[in-house]
């Protein structure tokens, strides 16, 4: 939009104009043109300034269009309802005063309807504030959900950290302790019993291998390297290569989700595929990942025996908790006899580059 | 034999250098990041390269990318890729060209010095060496399929060692059997899987790996 006029009211009027839909703007233009034409005709004929009735009519129509629309821009709820009421009053009130003025003044009769309008508005406002707003109720329940899911996420996270600590303690750490013992003993035996020392050293070496295995498992459970390397599509492809059931992957996401969401989705798909292998007796499975309506959606389906239930193990429930922390969720369709479809989704915006 | 090393952790880089030099290799370069490793790989006078998969600058899979790029320029250039984790996905990408002279091993394997050095030598000679972990996962995926299910347990053992890149002598030593017995097992395996008998060891490895990987490969 160009800026032909620089006046004090310009910014405000432009804001209002921009806020209006195109058809209202067109009506505004047409209305102004009609009024202008009538005034031009009147300058020819002269006499009683009759175009004021045209101006009045056009003005009423436009005001009735614009005022409610502006009020409608508020978020739904009692503020919007009151604003709508006020917008109507703002048209009807001045309308009556103008009619009074145009019809030649006299006794100020609009005082009565104006008073009625004011009382009606006050009553409406009082009623609105008597009961809790539905919008507010919605917000309150949402806060409840968020509090619950945050607590759930924190619980899940704390449980996960405990599990990692236990894995490290029972696995790698225990093995390193025994490794130290074997090495110490071997050192002692070196002189007196070289053969025994060699045996201990061999044991020590195999102990390091097991410790490495343990560490690897823990590290992969925290953040799989292939996810860091390749992002979600590559990581899901790698998952599919590691399960014994053939998996068909469709990855239809034009962009990158944020790392926490990618990670949550990765572990969700990993758990579903693990379930397919463990429970489903399926002959094949499909994984479909897509982005629609602002949500990242992953669907894992198999042609197995079905009967999957939330809460029977920690796997599916864990996914549900994790996704809920992102404001997402899990839907399970798994009738007895199959097939099973797990749909997981998280609201998420995509970025064009990996972060 | 001339070798170059790309590994960002000084401890492991020095260890690898020492280990290879002690085994009769000449280490002509040991660098700690991907760009310097790329420069080293340009040299035509090296017999084999040992690359960590994860190096600066991005600490993701630059070792793998370097290996693929170098082998595109010089097909069959012997490279051993080392990693803290093994992924079938990466094994597949490395093997895609169908050329030998390739190793993909867990870093853990350096603990067994003799075996590790043998693997590097084998790669330098144009062989293919895959980590037992990759092979195990390949086999578990493929073993549900019909022809593989018909192999005897012993034959499956032999198949596993073939896929890791062992020679007949290596397999025989690993299973405490005679080379003649191994030859018979291999014959049976190739017949049951309907694979053409390969002329040399490396072609045999590649044929088996291709067979195992072909198992309902996922589509995208
Ligand atoms: N794809 C599937 N097909 C058939 N049954 C399934 C499938 N996925 C899950 N189930 C059933 O639903 C139950 C719950 O699964 P969930 O992943 O929550 O627990 P789990 O796999 O038994 O244990 P965990 O995941 O904690 O190791 C499983 O015990 C299994 O009986
Ligand atoms: Mg489970």
Summarised one tens digit per residue, pLDDT across range A5-40 is 444 445 555 555 565 677 778 888 888 898 888 888
Ligand 1 center from residue A298 Cα (angstroms): 18
B2-130 CATH pick, 3.40.50.2300, 3.40.50.620, 3.80.10.10, 3.50.50.60: 3.40.50.2300
| Cα end-to-end distance, chain B, whole Å | 42
Report the mean per-residue pLDDT for chain A: 87
Cβ contact A246–B88 (<8 Å): no
Residues of chain A contacting residue B140, judged by C-beta atoms under 8 Å apart: 244
> Does residue A197 come out as left (phi exceeding 0), alpha (psi in the -120 to 50 range) or beta?
alpha
Is residue A2 very low, low, confident or very high in pLDDT (cuts 50, 70, 90)?
A: very low
Whether A333 has a pLDDT exceeding 50, the answer reads yes
Q: What is the CATH number that goes with domain B135-216?
A: 1.10.10.10
Residues of chain A contacting residue B218, judged by C-beta atoms under 8 Å apart: 237, 240-241, 246-249
Question: What residues does CATH 3.40.50.2300 cover in chain B?
Answer: 2-130
User: With a 6 A CB cut-off, is A278 part of the ligand 1 pocket?
Assistant: yes
Alpha helices, H only, chain A: 10-19, 22-45, 51-72, 78-102, 111-130, 134-168, 174-192, 194-222, 225-242, 259-275, 315-324
Ligand 1 center from residue A331 Cα (angstroms): 14
A156, A247, A315, A339, best to mutate for ligand 1 pocket (most atoms within 8 Å of CB): A315
Three-state SS at A46? coil
Restricting to B residues 4-43, those with a Cβ less than 8 Å away from any Cβ of A are: none
Write down the domain spans for chain A.
3-130, 136-222, 226-347
Q: What is the mean pLDDT of residues B117-123?
A: 95
CB-nearest partner of A216 from B85, B89, B144: B85
Among candidate residues A257, A287, A259, the one with its CA nearest the CA of residue A347: A257
Ligand 2 center from residue A254 Cα (angstroms): 30
Ligand 1, atom 23, lies closest to the CA of: A313
Which three-class secondary structure string do you get for B154-184?
A: HHHHHHHHHHHCCCHHHHHHHHCCCHHHHHH
Distance separating alpha carbons of residues A129 and A145, to the nearest angstrom: 25
Summarised one tens digit per residue, pLDDT across range A191-248 is 999 999 999 999 999 889 999 998 999 998 888 999 999 999 999 999 999 888 899 9
Q: For domain A226-347, give the fold.
A: Heat Shock Protein 90 (3.30.565)
pLDDT of residue A244: 86
Cβ-based neighbour number of residue B185 at 10 Å: 23
Q: Which ligand is nearest to the CA of A280?
A: 1
pLDDT of residue B219: 38
Summarised one tens digit per residue, pLDDT across range B206-215 is 888 888 887 6
Residues B4, B46 contacting (CB under 8 angstroms): yes
Q: What's the token pair of residue B123?
A: 């790669």
Task: For residue A312, give the ligand 1 atom closest to its CA.
Answer: 14
DSSP secondary structure code for residue A75 in this structure:
P
Task: For residue A275, give the ligand 1 atom closest to its CA.
Answer: 8
Range of weakest confidence among B66-80, B100-114, B118-132, B146-160: B146-160
pLDDT of residue A4: 43
Distance separating alpha carbons of residues A18 and A29, to the nearest angstrom: 14
**What sign has the CA pseudo-torsion A241, A242, A248, A254?**
negative
Q: For domain A136-222, give the fold.
A: 1.20.5
Among candidate residues B205, B22, B40, B51, the one with its CA nearest the CA of residue B125: B205
C-alpha torsion B27→B28→B29→B34, nearest 10: -100
Residues of chain B contacting residue A243, judged by C-beta atoms under 8 Å apart: 141
DSSP line for B28-82: EEEESSHHHHHHHHT-SS-SEEEEESS-TTTSSSHHHHHHHHHHHHSTT--EEEE
Cβ contact A246–B220 (<8 Å): no
* φ, ψ dihedrals at A301, nearest 5°: -125, 150
Q: What is the mean pLDDT of residues A318-338?
A: 91
Q: What is the mean pLDDT of residues B179-202?
A: 87
pLDDT of residue B220: 37
Q: Decide if the complex's ipTM is over 0.90.
A: no
Burial A205-230, CB ≥16 within 10 A → b, else e: eebeebbbbbbbebeeeeebbbbbbb
pLDDT of residue A72: 85
Cβ contact A246–B218 (<8 Å): yes
Whether B42 has a pLDDT exceeding 80, the answer reads yes
Q: What is the pTM of this model?
A: 0.73
Cβ contact B88–A242 (<8 Å): yes
Q: What's the token pair of residue B12?
A: 């492991």
């Amino acid at each position: 939009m160009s800026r032909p006029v620089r006046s004090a009211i310009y910014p405000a009027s432009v804001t209002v104009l921009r806020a209006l839909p195109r058809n209202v703007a067109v009506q505004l233009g047409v209305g102004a043109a009609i009024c202008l034409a009538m005034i031009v005709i009147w300058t020819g004929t002269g006499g009683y300034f009759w175009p004021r009735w045209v101006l009045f009519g056009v003005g009423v129509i436009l005001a009735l269009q614009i005022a409610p629309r502006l009020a409608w821009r508020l978020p739904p709820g009692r503020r919007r309802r009151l604003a709508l009421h006020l917008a109507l009053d703002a048209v009807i009130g001045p309308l009556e005063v103008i009619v009074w003025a145009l019809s030649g003044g006299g006794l100020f009769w609009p005082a009565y309807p104006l008073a009625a309008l004011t009382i009606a508005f006050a009553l409406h406002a009082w009623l609105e504030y008597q009961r809790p707003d539905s919008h507010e109720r919605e917000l309150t329940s949402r806060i409840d959900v968020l509090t619950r899911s945050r607590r759930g996420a924190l619980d899940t996270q704390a449980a996960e950290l405990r599990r990692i600590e236990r894995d490290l303690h029972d696995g790698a750490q225990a093995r390193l302790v025994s490794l130290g013992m074997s090495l110490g003993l071997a050192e002692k035996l070196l002189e007196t019993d070289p053969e025994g020392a060699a045996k201990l050293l061999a044991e020590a070496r195999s102990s390091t291998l097991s410790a490495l295995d343990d560490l690897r498992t823990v590290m992969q459970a925290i953040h799989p390297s292939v996810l860091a390397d390749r992002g979600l599509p590559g990581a899901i492809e790698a998952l599919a290569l590691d399960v014994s059931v053939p998996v068909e992957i469709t990855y239809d996401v034009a962009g990158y989700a944020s790392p926490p969401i990618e990670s949550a989705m990765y572990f969700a798909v990993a758990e579903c595929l693990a379930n397919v292998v463990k429970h489903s007796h399926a002959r094949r499975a499909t994984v479909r990942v897509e982005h629609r309506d602002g949500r990242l959606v992953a669907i894992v389906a198999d042609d197995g025996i079905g009967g999957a239930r939330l809460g029977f193990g920690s796997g599916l429930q864990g996914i549900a908790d994790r996704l809920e922390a992102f404001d997402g969720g899990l839907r399970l369709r798994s009738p007895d006899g199959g097939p099973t479809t797990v749909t997981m989704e998280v609201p998420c915006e995509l970025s064009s580059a990996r972060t | 034999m001339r070798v170059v090393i790309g590994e960002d952790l000084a401890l492991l880089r020095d260890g690898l250098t020492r280990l290879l030099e002690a085994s009769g290799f000449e280490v002509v370069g040991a660098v700690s990041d991907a760009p310097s490793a790329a420069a080293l790989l340009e040299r035509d006078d090296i017999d084999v390269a040992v690359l960590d998969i994860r190096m600066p600058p991005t600490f993701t899979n630059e070792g793998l990318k370097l290996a693929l790029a170098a082998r595109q320029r010089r097909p069959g250039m012997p490279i051993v890729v080392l990693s803290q984790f093994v992924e079938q996905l990466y094994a597949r990408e490395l093997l895609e060209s169908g050329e030998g002279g390739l190793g993909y091993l867990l870093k853990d394997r350096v603990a067994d010095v003799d075996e590790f050095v043998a693997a590097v030598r084998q790669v330098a000679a144009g062989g293919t060496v895959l980590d037992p972990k990759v092979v195990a996962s390949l086999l578990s995926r493929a073993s549900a399929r019909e022809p593989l299910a018909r192999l005897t347990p012993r034959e499956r053992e032999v198949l596993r060692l073939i896929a890791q890149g062992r020679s007949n002598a290596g397999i025989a030593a690993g299973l405490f059997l005679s080379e003649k017995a191994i030859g018979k097992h291999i014959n049976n395996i190739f017949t049951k899987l309907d694979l053409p008998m390969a002329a040399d060891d490396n072609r045999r490895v590649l044929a088996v790996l291709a067979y195992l990987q072909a198992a309902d490969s996922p589509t995208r």
